Amino acid sequence: MEIILLLVLAYLIGSLPSALWIGKLFYKTDIREHGSGNMGATNTFRVLGKKAGIAVTVFDILKGTAAVLLAFSPYFANTPIHPLVVGVVAVIGHMFPVFAKFKGGKAVATSGGVLLGYSWPIFVLVVLTFLLALKITKMVSLTSMVVAVMGAIYGIIYYFITGDIYLELVIVLMGAFIFYRHRANIARIKAGTEPKVKWL
């Protein structure tokens, strides 16, 4: 019973469509009708500016973190399910949100939040990699995929240090989600039409 409650809560947390709600509430804008149409932090930066972009980034990261921490919380601590699986369910909620017709984001920020909830050093490493890759590529989409690959390498290192293989397995799974959700971006990158960030 507790497993089901935990998974439903994780899915609902992940489903919270921050980009859609912040856009509608504070900017009278439906983010889905502008820019790439994606309900994520990048498109929020693009369409609504820095303030909204930062708010969505933080919110979407915290969704993944909250789900993992919920699984670690005293109430659910004895529930026989790995906290990272609970985090993955939040990422699924982010991609297929019940509050937005099951059309959500591309899994990047919420996956990062899962890492933050489970191993903050890996999260810090991933954020630093993200900033460096973004400086070089100037494309958030390409950066996200580079980070997905690098994350898998960090996961292997984490395994050799801690003996815990779950993080690596989940990083590979979330990385696969990220690649799958960036299909349109991959086509644009190949065509040379993917937008670049201007503020770097």
The contact set with ligand G3P (CB under 6 A) reads 36, 38, 40, 42-43, 106, 108, 140-141, 144, 185
Nearer to ligand G3P, 76 or 130 (CB): 130
177 by DSSP, 3-state: which? helix
Contact 90/101 with Cβ under 8 angstroms?
A: no
Closest distance between ligand G3P and the C-beta of residue 194, in Å?
Answer: 7
State the minimum distance, in angstroms, from the CB of residue 165 to ligand G3P: 27
In the complex, least distance from residue 168 CB atom to ligand G3P, rounded to whole angstroms: 22
Residues 79, 5 contacting (CB under 8 angstroms): no
- The letter for the amino acid at 59 is F
Nearer to ligand G3P, 166 or 179 (CB): 179
- Shortest distance in whole angstroms from residue 108 CB to ligand G3P: 4
Distance in angstroms (rounded) separating the CA atoms of residues 101 and 15: 10
How far is residue 65 from each of residues 56, 78, 112, 133, measured CA to CA in Å?
14, 19, 8, 23
3-state secondary structure string across 90-130: HHHHHHCCHHHCCCCCCCHHHHHHHHHHHCHHHHHHHHHHH
What's the length of the chain?
Answer: 200
* Residue with Cβ nearer ligand G3P (10 or 140): 140
The CA distances from residue 167 to 88, 89, 120, 125, 160, in Å, are 11, 14, 12, 14, 12
For ligand G3P, which residue has the nearest CB? 36
To ligand G3P, the closest distance from the beta carbon of 38 in angstroms equals 4
119 or 144, CB closer to ligand G3P? Answer: 144
Measured from the CB atom, the residue of 18 and 144 that comes closer to ligand G3P is 144
Closest approach of Cβ 186 to ligand G3P, in Å?
11
Residue closer to ligand G3P, measured from CB, 71 or 108: 108
